[in-house]
């Protein structure tokens, strides 16, 4: 097993590391100030300017195929870049990205949605979660009924990332109740101008999802993405497109947080000694270091399986579950090591504390990951001996 990065891979990673240090980290005090004043940490104009600055160095569409102007990087390299971006809480993402299921669009839809999204001219959102259908995606109730050559959509979606800013939505609706999820759900591309509305959902973190309201929204037949009745398959492809990327970003956050804890332990003196000399603190540092390293390899293993064309869903569920739990344990220890100052808003530890809590819920709760992992093992879909078995 060779864990060595090639020269090119190392250069790509190091460029992103430098970009984070030079362009993003200096913004942190202002981002915190804005967020605490109830404002967006980074404006759309600032995000666009940063994305274009990265584009000047060739960083555009990290996973977008080269034929569409992207970099087409491997899953492993993408995970490494996400880890670098995770070292700051400044909300940045590279431009030139489009949801994986948009590549199933027909030629007309590609011109109207895929290419403008890659170019940054349009913003999309993915809408399947409903007030009564979160982890159980098959329980969706949003409906679409045929009316001549159109479809009429009614229903509500909730906790939709990017829903407040999106120009169009990939919405999943029941088109044939008798067929259920497999054959009875269809994905529609629906422009905001067609009549759906979004409402901001306030959360404990800085993530501002939306509720989407559809009231007799009329959509032409030409707006179906993929095939009628095959929407649930598209939804599962979207959900499974890169679950490993969520704990990948947490790797960077935990690296930064653990570094802060080590610095605090070495500099904070109590009773004439730095707290780094206290066994209680040493164990917190040691446990965090071991868990961080384990998380790193769980994520990279899942990404490696993606690159090999293997079914990586089991490995991704393991990385997601472990990453969510351990990231929360690590940030809690880091806050504890900082004592009262860690609890204040003078330091960004509490900011990460709130942000990382979402990882145990977003895109598959801990409980759902456990259910998936257990089912795979009990039914023999995965071996306890792992990939070496």
Asked if 253 and 381 sit in the same domain, the reply is: yes
| pLDDT band at residue 363 using 50, 70 and 90 as cut-offs | confident
* CATH number where 76 lies: 1.10.540.10
Asked if 254 and 337 sit in the same domain, the reply is: yes
Of 191, 171, 52, 48, the closest CA to residue 112 belongs to: 191
For residue 95, being part of any structural domain is answered with yes
Domain that holds residue 133: 122-238
Asked if 247 and 344 sit in the same domain, the reply is: yes
* CATH number where 353 lies: 1.20.140.10
Q: What value does the mean pLDDT take over residues 347-351? A: 93
List, in order, residues 6 or more apart from 36 with CB less than 8 Å away: 345
Query: What is the total count of domains within the chain?
Result: 3
> What tokens does 192 get?
């905001």
Q: Is the pLDDT of residue 206 over 80?
A: no
Asked if 220 and 141 sit in the same domain, the reply is: yes
For residue 93, being part of any structural domain is answered with yes
Residue 135 has a pLDDT of 63
Query: What size, in residues, is the chain?
Result: 389
Task: Please tell me the pTM assigned to this model.
Answer: 0.91
Instruction: Round to whole Å and give the CA distance between 375 and 229.
Output: 27
* Tens of pLDDT, residues 172-196: 999 998 887 788 999 999 999 999 9
Q: What value does the mean pLDDT take over residues 222-236? A: 92
**Count of Cβ atoms closer than 10 Å to residue 137 Cβ:** 17
For residue 326, being part of any structural domain is answered with yes
Mean pLDDT (the chain) is 93
* CATH number where 180 lies: 2.40.110.10
For this structure, is 227 an active site residue? no
Of 29, 18, 35, 238, the closest CA to residue 128 belongs to: 238
* Tens of pLDDT, residues 334-345: 999 999 999 998
Q: Is the pLDDT of residue 128 over 70?
A: yes
User: Among residues 130, 206, 291, 363, which one is catalytic?
Assistant: 363
CA distances from 199 to 125, 159, 172, 188 (A): 14, 10, 18, 20
């Amino acid at each position: 097993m060779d864990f060595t990065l090639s020269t090119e891979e190392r250069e790509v990673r190091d460029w992103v590391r430098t970009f984070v240090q030079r362009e993003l980290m200096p913004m942190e005090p202002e981002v915190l100030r804005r967020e605490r004043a109830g404002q967006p940490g980074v404006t759309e104009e600032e995000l666009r300017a940063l994305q274009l600055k990265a584009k000047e160095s060739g960083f555009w569409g990290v996973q977008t195929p080269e034929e569409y102007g992207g970099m087409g990087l491997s899953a492993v390299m993408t995970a490494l870049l996400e880890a670098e971006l995770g070292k700051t809480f400044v909300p940045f993402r590279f431009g030139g990205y489009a949801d994986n299921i948009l590549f199933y669009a027909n030629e007309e839809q590609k011109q109207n949605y895929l290419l403008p999204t890659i170019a940054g001219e349009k913003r999309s959102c993915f809408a399947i979660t409903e007030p009564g259908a979160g982890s159980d995606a098959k329980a969706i109730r949003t409906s679409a009924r045929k009316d001549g050559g159109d479809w009429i959509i009614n229903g509500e979606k909730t906790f939709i990332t990017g829903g407040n800013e999106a120009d169009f939505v990939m919405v999943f609706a029941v088109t044939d109740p008798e067929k259920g999820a497999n054959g009875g759900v269809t994905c529609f591309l629906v422009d905001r101008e067609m009549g759906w509305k979004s409402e901001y959902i306030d959360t404990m973190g800085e993530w501002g999802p939306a509720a989407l309201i559809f009231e007799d929204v009329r959509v032409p037949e030409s707006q179906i993405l993929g095939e009628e009745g095959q929407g649930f398959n598209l939804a599962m492809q979207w959900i499974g497109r890169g679950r490993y990327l969520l704990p990948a970003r947490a790797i960077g956050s935990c690296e930064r947080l653990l570094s802060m804890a080590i610095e605090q332990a070495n500099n904070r003196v109590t009773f004439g000694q730095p707290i780094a000399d206290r066994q209680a603190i040493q164990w917190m540092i040691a446990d965090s270091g071991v868990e961080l390293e384990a998380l790193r390899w769980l994520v990279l293993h899942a990404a490696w399986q993606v690159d090999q064309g293997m079914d990586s869903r089991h490995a991704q569920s393991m990385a997601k579950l472990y990453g969510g739990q351990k990231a929360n344990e690590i940030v809690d220890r880091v806050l504890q090591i900082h004592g009262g100052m860690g609890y204040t808003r003078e330091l960004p530890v509490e900011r990460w504390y709130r942000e990382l809590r979402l990882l145990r819920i977003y895109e598959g709760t801990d409980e759902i990951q456990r259910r998936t992992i257990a089912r795979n093992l009990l039914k023999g879909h995965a071996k306890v001996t792992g990939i070496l078995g």
